[in-house]
Structure 1
Amino acid sequence: MKRFIAFLLLGIIFQNRVQAQTLAEGIVFEKRVHSFGTIKEVNGKVSYTFVFKNNGNTPVTISSINSGCGCIGNAVSKKPVPAGGKGQVTVTFNPEYKSGFFSKEIVVMSNNDKEFNRVWVEGTIIPSEKPIEHEYPYNFGSGLYLRLEVMAFGYVKAGTTKQMELHYANATDKEMNLGFVVEDNKGNLLFKNPGKIGAKAKGITSFSFTMPYLGNDDITYKVYPYVNNKKLAKPVAVKILNELNFKNKAAKPAAVTK
């Protein structure tokens, strides 16, 4: 998510810069769109060099290459390209953590960023198989991996119900039977056991909690996973905060220090 936001902000900055510049009509690229075709994420970065001709009457210098996609631009021809001469711009695309079709715009700035031009790279990415820990970082043993080890419901109002999802994965090459047992459950925490999970399969189960009307205590549960009817040593912690308890604390006058 942070990476996506960073790229989005870069895109907005580049767009604002381009809107303030003039189209470099003297720069004519031999092709504006290059297709990498089908590439594999595991093979890493791919590059292509765009060739352009200076059809203007004065020399032109590529000042910078910008993109909001994480593409890397490099002006191969760093010296001024004379009128009638040719220059090159290389674009490198990193397919890491991407999949499927992509089409990325690269803005080529020239003459001290006063003028701009555009080229594009596109293609289709075949993603590589990631270690299961990338998506499910918590190893509970017996081939079971979970995305959370603590389910924090936050504040729940008396009489209301809140839900949370628990993502799980079977890292083994065999089918497993997965269930959960709540220690000291008084019936307020409800869920459906996943049951049979295929080899290398993933899934989601939902937990719901209803805050009782009586009492204002915060509540913590230990939820033990069972794999093939075997209780695992490590529990999932479920933590619920009572909104009434929060309100009581907020209403209590702060201590006066002398």
Structure 2
Amino acid sequence: MKIRIILFLITVIFGCQLYSQSTATTISFKEKVYDFGKILESKGKVSHTFTFLNKSKVPVNIESISSGCGCATYSYNKEPIRSGHKGKITITFDPLYHPGFFSKEITIFSNNHNKINRIWVKGYVVAFIHPIDEDYPYTLGNGLHTSLKVLAFGEMTNGMNKQIKLRYANNTDKPMTLKFVIEGSDKNIKFTDPGVLSPMKRGEMTISYTMGKTNQKEKMIKIYPVVNGKKLSQCIQTKITCI
């Protein structure tokens, strides 16, 4: 009963704080949305500075800023902005591994967090092809790189089917013949072997598992890659929790 009362009070207090926050009319932004347009991921971070005017008769403090994403960082005036003076907030966006369209909302808290303003940065990131060892961090041997080393299917019940995408790459200057073999005799796991992979090329395969009746609490299946006819010592593990 005490726990319920405490949770209720927290909810009421938090709700009141949110309700009490209103848009700050004391500061006026020259612009609220900035469009970077097309930016190249390979060129790295881009920045834009928003300016605002303190229209009130008293100094205004920017208490804090929230971007909700590590890809958008900020810097701003820590000193109070005097009446009639301008302040600056610089937003920096990191396009690394953020391909395609983006729109980031930035929330500015002022006046002891009781007032808020919102600004936005948006644009489109033109991606570039990263080195194989960046996109495929697991090296299994003989030039084979994969995106995963553990296939975590999670909890599964009888008859349930799940699928996981496994990406792979040939990090050599010669063609690679690639297939996978399962340790054991579990026939519920299905996939199609990649076949021949050209030099420095990448591919993707779907590994499917259908849960059957079992008394086991957990299943672990080892999948070994075979590169150019040679079975590698490192494997990809499949983990399933049976419920």
2:98 is paired with a residue whose SS is coil
Number of residue pairs matched? 226
- Assess if the C-alpha contact under 8 Å between 1:99 and 1:126 holds in 2: yes
Report % sequence identity: 38
The alpha-carbon distance between structure 1 residues 123 and 216, as it changes in their structure 2 partners (threshold 3 A), is closer
Do the aligned partners of residues 161 and 73 (structure 1) sit closer, same or farther apart at CA in structure 2, a change above 3 Å counting?
closer
**Whole-Å Cα distance in 2 between the matches of residues 73 and 64 of structure 1?**
10
Deviates more, 1:175-184 or 1:195-204: 175-184
Matches within 5 A, 1:34-49: 34-49=34-49
Hey, what's the Cα distance between the residues in 1 that align with 2:217 and 2:104?
53
- The aligned counterpart of 1:231 is 230
Deviations 1:142-184 (A, max 9, x none): 32223344556678878x5766546122233554322223456
SS in 2 for 1:88: strand
**Consecutive unaligned residues in structure 2, runs of 5 or more:** 1-14
Say whether 1:75 aligns with 2:76.
yes
Q: 1:141·1:232 contact (CA, 8 Å) conserved in 2? A: no
Q: CA deviation at 1:203?
A: 0.9
Mapped to 2, the partners of 1:55 and 1:186 lie a distance apart of 71
One-letter code aligned to 1:79: P
State the one-letter code of the partner of 1:54.
N
Larger radius of gyration: 1
- What are the ranges of 5 or more consecutive residues in structure 1 without an aligned counterpart? 1-14, 247-258
1:177 is matched with which residue? 177
How far 1:47 moved relative to its partner? Answer: 2.0
Q: Which residues of 2 match residues 17-96 of structure 1 at below 5 A? A: 19-70=19-70, 71-76=72-77, 78-82=79-83, 84-96=84-96
CA RMSD of aligned residues (A): 3.7
Q: TM-score, normalised by structure 2?
A: 0.71
Deviation of 1:234 after TM superposition, in Å, equals 1.6
SS at match of 1:116: strand
2:109 matched residue in structure 1: 109
1:6 aligned residue? none
